[in-house]
Structure 1
């Protein structure tokens, strides 16, 4: 598909306008006035050279009276009494180019300001959109896609805006130069216009090729980012088992494709840069010969025409080079644009009713859920209640749907049919944020940040080093999670940095740090999804005592394979293949004849 700059440039300008607003066009206004100032300076060469020519040969036949634009400028100067003042003309030329420099500085400075605003707008908006995207959309994309979009592709988009701004500025200059060329000598202007159009047509197919490469580079960058993220996450396993080599070949293949695209793009740019000056000089000399030999034009207009022609052709060739540079990054612009569109489409729905502190409880009424129609439902007609300030356990074999139920409780997922009620209000009517602020959630996969222990617990609620009240709350949560004794043995205590994903801690220590964070929040609902799976027996027993101590203070939902952790819950719900098959107290279910739960307890020899 060949691109059409007349159509594409306005399209991409509208894309950037949607981020920056109409203020971006001020750059082009600066450029227009700067080009006009330069044009005045160049045109003033006509009376200057004609005056010098007349002074050098007074009364000679070659010193013809000025005509056309030369006469207009001569009369204008005469009106101010400057028609015979060479110094005045020179000062006007100097003033015109000083004004051009000042206006060009204004255009470039405002362009830099807009780029900074664009970077903040794009990264800020995209991060906000990611924070509101639906979990289902997130689960369908790889991590590399999101990292690539918000980092690499936004950076490329910023560069594309810079080149596009240069491109439009060059178009403005070409229009000014062409108009002046017509004013000085319309035949010359027509020739310059024809040459410019021929050059653009000549490079059109090359530009289409560069844009196709840009789109491929944008996609390949995302693929490579995903491979690198997977490698870094699995680094310990891959190194320990010497399985880096198969992944290395895949990474090298991606790098090879990416560098190939970049090399071909660079060659296209080199070709454009290399042929520019020879074409400009050749075309200029041909037109000068036509002006002097064929059309018998006076010398002074020819000299001014040479300046205008060279400026016009040079800018036209710069335009082509800038257009190719714009297209080098246009794949990123399109990817970011499409990502914003996808986020609008897949934004998590939000209710309008704020959720006050949990007062009655949570109810599920005939809830069914499936991730995709092809795979069918993973939960079937589930109904049960979780009264406020009670503790319940969801048990069953792997794949029974327990973690899916936890995702429904946090409103991350929406039932395919049936209703989840929070204090009697349907979940889809609840403001998500107001409900989730009441939830503490501890999963099997620990979430630990590369920061201090204190910040991991309080989630940057303040400066724990300076705020003693905050530090006291952090320590209380650490004691409840039975990690305080370990923290206090560290040289820097609560200000110890734990490394990327807590790699300087053991698995059990990361899990207890995770639990401490959720206890710090003082939630109304605490969900423990296999929260003790990484803990040793003593830590598990100590944590169980902490959970038991919370009974009657908050609502606790425990998902567990190790049934020793749920002995003291108020109610147990047993699931099998997405169906609720048993419910009751721990003791009643354990002792009931033919109880599925009783068999699970017996298997663990409890």
Structure 2
């Protein structure tokens, strides 16, 4: 890019130099002289050394040739810049995707989701603009330097005076550049807040609408919109000032310099005229440089944010062990495990248990007892603060967590449904091979979905809408079950999977789950105790500790607390 910019400036300068012999011939001179061209006389001398007589035709021909060659190289430069920009943006997005893939779930739960979304979408777009404007500013600064070099070769006194005047004027613009950078940083912060507010607005729209709170929350969103608008307006006004003042100030400098050159230094008008041509080019380049640089500063806050975001993702990346697990074979063991999100937060305390393959294990207890935290830990989403978890005798710190988690299915109270077809929701975008279609149909049968799908006009190609808006709660859960069964898993986690369903649908889903009992290791978090009657073992939890265990009947006899829970639910 630097070489091409220098070459473009040189060819443009050589083309403009041909105006000098044209001016001489316009005065009636029969012979072109290199005198009055300063150090640029080498151009005329070089052409004449080739045996070419300079006249109006040859001068115009050379001028056309220089500018044509400049246009070809300028096109090559623009094409190169486009490829570099797109490679830069693509590389940045891929890098952020890879880093976020390795991001620790433990860090994610306390992260600002709005900032994450803003960084990976809006901020990336703004950084691409920052790169483009920075590249443009560098390119134009090089052009300015090339043109000024030509001016120095023609008339160094004129060039020196203009450079000094231009440098002094730039002190004024530097204050505006500083204010633009400050507003850019503020805009980045407010954009992240706006993303967070709008994510919650959309995600909780049903509740806000149903409770009449939607307008109150909308006012909060509007306030954040006005903050973003305020930042953008300030940046726009600063840019307008720079654009409006730049040319008058620089032209004023030129007028003063011409006056000094003619009145006090005895400069020749012809050399001043050609110097002005070069300077006009330099002035245009300088104006574009200042505009591009100011545009770069207006999004520099996004660049700082992306760098900071990348560093946070790197610092919070999960440490992967090297020992892979291709199939869960024997047992999961938690040995004296403590866990807390910080040192003062002891959610799990000295907890130990052993889960055998293909057993159905349930965890019950009051809210906040540590059930979900324990299952998240057993599933590898969290790492113990003290103690260790072993999968087939492999400790977490040595285990390749991705290989382990690929053997896990996860069904939550709010099923994950993608805005895509039924087939893609179940298979997670697997190719439509004969083998995959057979596995897909088997998963639908096991989840009792086949009859429902056959009633749809497009069957498996039916789009489910945003978060499965076109499905009932039971159908969503069956889609989730079918997905996990299609994946060929060993462990199935059910996190209050039926608690949001009506009793009849809950019984149907529970029947589906009971049918696969013994084929998978099933971990159930439950508030409705009717769903765990057939569990092989139930763990009663309280304040991060296991306070009772056994099958359903055994625990009713051995734990008064569990017995009261059963009685309250009239089981």
Partner of 1:182: 152
SS in 1 for 2:342: coil
Aligned to 2:373: 404
**Superposition pairs of residues 33-432 of structure 1, within 5 angstroms:** 33-53=7-27, 55=29, 65-66=35-36, 68-374=38-344, 376-432=345-401
Distance 1:534 1:492 in 2: 28
Whether contact under 8 Å (1:280, 1:314) holds in the other structure is no
- Residues of 1 paired with 2:287 and 2:512: CA distance? 74
Does structure 2 retain, via aligned residues, the 8 Å contact 1:51–1:84?
no
Structure 2 distance, partners of 1:210, 1:538, is 62
State the match for 2:438 in structure 1: 472
Report Cα offsets for 1:505-556 as digits up to 9, x if no partner. Answer: 1222212221221122221111111112133333333333333332332211
Structure 2, unaligned runs of 5 or more: none
Report if aligned partners of 1:453, 1:498 keep a CA contact under 8 Å in 2.
Answer: yes
Map of 1:15 onto structure 2: none
Partner-residue secondary structure (3-state), 2:460: helix
In 2 relative to 1, CA 474–74 (structure 1 residues): closer, same or farther, beyond 3 Å? closer
Comparing 408-417 with 544-553, greater Cα deviation is found at: 544-553
Contact 1:28 / 1:107 at 8 angstroms: preserved in 2? no
Query: Normalization by structure 2: what TM-score?
Result: 0.95
Aligned partners of 1:66, 1:302: CA distance in 2, in Å? Answer: 10
**Structure 2 CA distance for aligned equivalents of residues 519 and 34 of structure 1:** 63
Query: Offset of 1:173 from its aligned partner?
Result: 0.9
Report what 1:457 is aligned to.
426
| Counterpart secondary structure, 2:362 | strand
Q: 1:250 to 1:541 in 2, by over 3 A?
A: closer
Aligned equivalent of 1:559, options 518, 521, 525? 525
| Structure 2 match to 1:13 | none
1:6 maps to what in 2?
none
2:571 is the counterpart of 1:603: no
* Inter-partner Cα distance in structure 1 for 2:451 and 2:482: 13
Q: Name which of 543, 554, 562 aligns with 1:588.
A: 554
How far apart are 1:65 and its partner, in Å?
Answer: 4.6
Instruction: Summarize deviations over 1:143-164 as a string: whole Å, max 9, x none.
Output: 2111111111111111111111
Shift of 1:349: 1.5
Provide the C-alpha distance between the structure 2 equivalents of 1:103 and 1:161, rounded to a whole number of angstroms. Answer: 21
Q: TM-score, normalised by structure 1?
A: 0.90
Q: Is the Cα–Cα contact under 8 Å of residues 37 and 154 in structure 2 kept in the other structure? A: no
- Structure 2 SS opposite 1:371: coil
Equivalent position to 1:488, from 454, 467, 480: 454
CA 1:365–1:65 in structure 2 vs 1: closer, same or farther (change >3 Å)? closer
361-370 vs 290-299, which deviates more?
290-299
Greater shift after overlay, 549-558 or 415-424? 549-558
Matched, 1:443 2:415: no
Q: CA deviation at 1:135?
A: 0.9
CA distance in 2, matches of 1:414, 1:70: 72
Q: Residues 51, 360 of structure 1: CA spacing in aligned structure 2 closer, same or farther, 3 A cutoff?
A: same
Is 1:546 aligned to 2:516, yes or no?
no
Deviation of 1:469 after TM superposition, in Å, equals: 4.1
Secondary structure of the 2:470 match is coil
Match of 2:6 among 32, 41, 52: 32
Contact 1:508–1:534 (Cα < 8 Å) also in 2: no
- The answer to whether the 8 Å contact 1:75/1:83 transfers is no
Query: Per the alignment, in what secondary structure is the counterpart of residue 381 of structure 1?
Result: strand
Residues 359 and 388 in structure 1, CA contact (< 8 A), matched pair in contact too: yes
Alpha-carbon distance, 1:131 to partner: 1.6
How far residue 70 of structure 1 moved from its aligned partner, in angstroms, is 4.8
